Chains A and B, each alone.
Chain A
């Protein structure tokens, strides 16, 4: 939105002199890159399914390539989101499907066998990155990290809850509900 709305910084606003440590871990950054890679691949598979199947000797399986493209898009978007671990594990599962599909095309009668082998090597490489990123982000963002503390002693009322309730019951002035309206009395007859 900041691009389309032409938002500009005001003249006197502080400017960055030196950038410091970030809340993003290396796993988060890798997840981002893999997310964008997935979206790029997904779009390519959706719009150029024919070219891909020809290059891999898989003519007639354009529907499958498009379905895989949709999967790449979905898991890519998830990998960019706050649910990135889910997206990355989705990518790992998708990698398994890709590997199985490509391995099935590695038979000796496929004239594009070399292309398939190249694609398989690429997918295997990306699978390793997907797995590394999935493990790293799952570990980093797991809720159970750190200590579990009970705050059952933190009432916030120095004189106790009962005293606070009593004070509340003595303070009707703080309330502002209007008086209920009275029924209108019509003259008899």
Chain B
């Protein structure tokens, strides 16, 4: 089969690889009909998250048709079923899965020892997202093996196009959980840092959850335009002060809820010296992440407010202002999203026409064009916000 394969920093290739096979009784093989490049794939593209091996297949946003099931799937999935594959692999049976904390599944990370060493305790296995999360081959491919397939799937109905359903596997529930973690009240101002695909979903989620006003912070006009279309107040941090504008919009009190949809690759600018220092440290492996957005939201967040982190961080971040955080009694909530906790509700909202997540797609290409689209997306060229690929 054909697949997008990681060969090293900024080196993704459209390779021919061996087909996946059923390895465990609970496996299924899915023929991928649509897959996408996630913003977090760019962290792997740029080699900011360790533990990738040359030859790893990329991708954790995919959907398709079940073409083969293992004998342990027990009728919960059958050949011909149309499914979205959640990026978190879940057993459905461990304590965490039973509690709905699916991204913390205790059994699905097959390289648990490595995950335990890096994080203290490993989280769930993920598709195409380093060997710290199991080293599972990803879904930017013609076929993908889905472990624990009887639990790791979202069945979707016929009649709704892939474009509307694909994002149920990651960015839509990620944006949704980011907003849910804020416990949004009708009087709340929600500020969202980063208007990439997850930020766009977080903005729509905050609107659907009844926020009084949503502020979208970015520096790219196409992203801010899309955010504004979704009901947000755009704030271009290259043109105005984030702190001043947010205070102005909240009677000087700061936003009650702050969502970080930026993660470890904060924009670098000479006007924010900490971003330059972070980048230099990152280059010398003295720091993993560039947490400028997080520092800013800790500073501007209203006392007693909540910061919800949806952006991916990989390891160590320096100069986090714990004094501000502690003295202002700010709550931080975070985590990879527990995809299946939210998908019934989100699928219903799509079916009812409350939201159509396909709004975020700016480029639809063949899988063969994947390597070039990684570059286009990473360099933010051609007004690219979200790439969907058809194997």
A residues neighboring B (CB under 8 Å): 1-2, 5, 7, 9-24, 28, 77-78, 80-83, 140-159, 161, 164-165, 167-169, 171-172, 174-177
Contacts and interface: CB of A to CB of B under 8 A. Distances in A.
Interface in B32-51: 45-46, 50-51
Interface string B177-191: 000100111100000
B359 A156 contact: yes
B347 to A, nearest CB: 15
27 contacts: A1-B50, A2-B51, A7-B131, A17-B15, A17-B16, A17-B18, A21-B372, A22-B12, A22-B371, A23-B10, A82-B10, A83-B268, A140-B375, A142-B381, A148-B221, A149-B383, A151-B229, A156-B200, A156-B204, A156-B360, A159-B353, A161-B229, A161-B231, A164-B208, A168-B210, A175-B183, A175-B209
A21 B355 CA distance: 37
B210 A18 contact: no
Contacts of A177: 183, 185
Contact of A148 (B55, B231, B375, B383): B383
A3 to B, nearest CB: 10
Interface of B: 1-3, 5, 7, 9-21, 23, 45-46, 50-53, 55, 57, 110-111, 114, 117, 131, 135, 137, 141, 145, 180, 183-186, 200, 204, 207-211, 221-223, 225-226, 228-231, 268, 279, 283-284, 353-357, 359-360, 362, 368, 371-372, 374-376, 379-385
A22 B131 contact: no
B15 A167 contact: no
Contacts of A1: 50-51
B355 A2 contact: no
A144 B356 CA distance: 29
B23 A23 contact: no
B138 to A, nearest CB: 10
Contacts of A81: 283
Contacts of B207: 157, 161, 164-165, 168
Nearest to A163: B354
B261 to A, nearest CB: 15
B16 A20 contact: yes
A168 B228 CA distance: 18
Main secondary structure of the interface of A (DSSP, over half): loop
Nearest to A170: B210
Contact of B381 (A21, A145, A150, A153): A145
Nearest to B382: A146
B354 A157 contact: yes
A46 to B, nearest CB: 15
A176 B52 CA distance: 38
Contacts of B13: 19-23
Contacts of A154: 226, 229-230, 359-360
Contact of A164 (B110, B204, B228, B372): B204
Given A7-B114, A143-B381, A151 B355 contact: no
Given A10-B135, A164-B354, A174-B180, 6 more contacts: A14-B18, A21-B14, A77-B283, A156-B355, A161-B230, A164-B208
A155 B226 CA distance: 7
Nearest to B179: A174
A84 to B, nearest CB: 9
B383 A158 contact: no
Nearest to B186: A169
A156 B3 contact: no
B16 A18 contact: yes
B381 A146 contact: yes
A116 B278 CA distance: 40
B279 A83 contact: yes
Given A16-B17, A168-B208, A155 B229 contact: yes
Given A23-B12, A23-B375, A146-B376, A14 B362 contact: no
Contact of A165 (B57, B145, B231): B231
B11 A22 contact: yes
Nearest to B220: A143
Contacts of B12: 22-23
A157 to B, nearest CB: 6
A2 B9 CA distance: 13
Contacts of A144: 381
Nearest to B49: A1
A16 B90 CA distance: 27
B131 A2 contact: yes
A121 B117 CA distance: 51
A23 B374 contact: yes
A147 B375 CA distance: 15
Contacts of A172: 210
A1 B314 CA distance: 14
Nearest to A153: B229
A158 to B, nearest CB: 5
Contact of B53 (A2, A158, A168): A2
B185 A175 contact: yes
A149 B371 contact: no
A141 B137 CA distance: 29
Contacts of A174: 180, 209-210
